Chains A and B, each alone.
Chain A
């Protein structure tokens, strides 16, 4: 039971994060990305437009358990990127009040979010390792039963 629950929770995190950003002007997320001072201007804009959709779709698939293995890999990649981005900001001591990860809905400091993201990353690694258990109560399970 714990594996499908973890899958739904981690998927939910991505879904909420992506949904908040896609329903609001992308410029809000662009502002958050600019604070990390990692990318050239054009890449910041591209990321601000595309990344929320990737989060949203990955989160949705993970929650529903559709294309579970692929969704887990995408989610792992996303959380790995989040960890690297926040870690470099902490190492460079960038003046960030909050991480900008969930827009205005949830505000967490970079230190809080790196712990949370690391937990999600580890959880996803475990889920990927136990794919059969993770796919319980999923749409994938319904398709394989047929």
Chain B
């Protein structure tokens, strides 16, 4: 077989393997079933955003604040749904923050708790123990404390968080923040700004 022909076969073969793996990964990816508890906005809004965030990641807080601003300005055009993607190996409080948010959500207070966690991230991310501050946030968010403590002790809370993370992994999420904006993958705060500019303009 001539060398050039073998070269073409190897290149085409490599491309075919990559395409096959991508197809396999997309077929085995989990379904993003909508969670009403951690979603806000019209389900039929023209811009549907699913965010995979880690509460302790600074870029996630930045992105969350951008999304909050967009939602405030265009509530009828945007649907935001939040999924947990805690990076426990690098962020010590991320799982705890996620469980507090999840338990607040079970009392219908997910978004107030979410907003407090991201807006005041700088106050807690470097603490040795952040539970006290999270409990204070929960109080401010209007969460009933006894029910919160019972919820935090429940093993299925962490399980819910991990299910989101596994779903993210199956969808190709590697880092945070990762967004799916009308099904298009957008990673990072900079790309989020560029993508939102396309929908709402720079002077949104």
B7 near A30 with CB under 8 A, answer no
Shortest B177–chain A CB gap in Å is 9
Query: Complex formed: what's the CA distance from A97 to B87 in Å?
Result: 12
B18 near A19 with CB under 8 A, answer yes
| The residue from A23, A56, A67, A97 contacting B22, defined by CB atoms under 8 A apart | A23
B22 near A27 with CB under 8 A, answer no
The verdict on B131 contacting chain A, using a C-beta distance below 8 Å, is no
Q: Contacts A24-B174, A28-B174, A30-B191; is A66 near B18 (CB within 8 Å)? A: no
| The residue from B18, B172, B190 contacting A28, defined by CB atoms under 8 A apart | B172
Chain B's interface: helix, strand, loop or mixed, by majority? helix
Closest residue of chain A to B186 (Cβ to Cβ) is A27
Could you list 21 examples of A-B contacts with CB < 8 Å? A22-B18, A23-B18, A23-B21, A25-B187, A27-B178, A27-B185, A28-B172, A28-B174, A28-B187, A30-B187, A31-B191, A34-B191, A41-B194, A56-B18, A57-B11, A60-B14, A66-B6, A66-B10, A97-B90, A103-B174, A104-B174
Closest residue of chain A to B20 (Cβ to Cβ) is A23
Q: Contacts A97-B90, A104-B175; is A27 near B10 (CB within 8 Å)? A: no
The 10 A-B residue pairs whose C-beta atoms are closest, nearest first, are A31-B187, A104-B174, A31-B188, A27-B187, A25-B185, A28-B174, A27-B185, A23-B21, A22-B18, A24-B172
0/1 string, A4-40, CB within 8 A of B gives 1:
0000000000000001001111011011101000000
The verdict on A64 contacting chain B, using a C-beta distance below 8 Å, is yes
Query: Complex formed: what's the CA distance from A110 to B38 in Å?
Result: 36
Interface residues on A, range: 20 to 34
Chain A's interface: helix, strand, loop or mixed, by majority? helix
- Count of chain B residues with a beta carbon within 8 Å of a chain A beta carbon: 22
Shortest B17–chain A CB gap in Å is 8
B154-204 contacts to A (CB < 8 Å):
172, 174-175, 178, 185-188, 190-191, 194
B1-39 contacts to A (CB < 8 Å):
3, 6-7, 10-11, 14, 18, 21-22, 25
A45-90 contacts to B (CB < 8 Å):
56-57, 60-61, 64, 66-67
Shortest A143–chain B CB gap in Å is 5
- Please report A residues at the B interface, Cβ cutoff 8 Å: 19, 22-25, 27-28, 30-32, 34, 41, 56-57, 60-61, 64, 66-67, 97, 103-104, 139, 143
A28 near B175 with CB under 8 A, answer yes
Residues in B with CB closer than 8 Å to A27 are 178, 185-187, 191
Tell which of B6, B175, B190, B191 has the most Cβ of chain A within 10 Å: B175
A34 near B172 with CB under 8 A, answer no
Query: Complex formed: what's the CA distance from A129 to B190 in Å?
Result: 43
Query: Complex formed: what's the CA distance from A22 to B20 in Å?
Result: 11
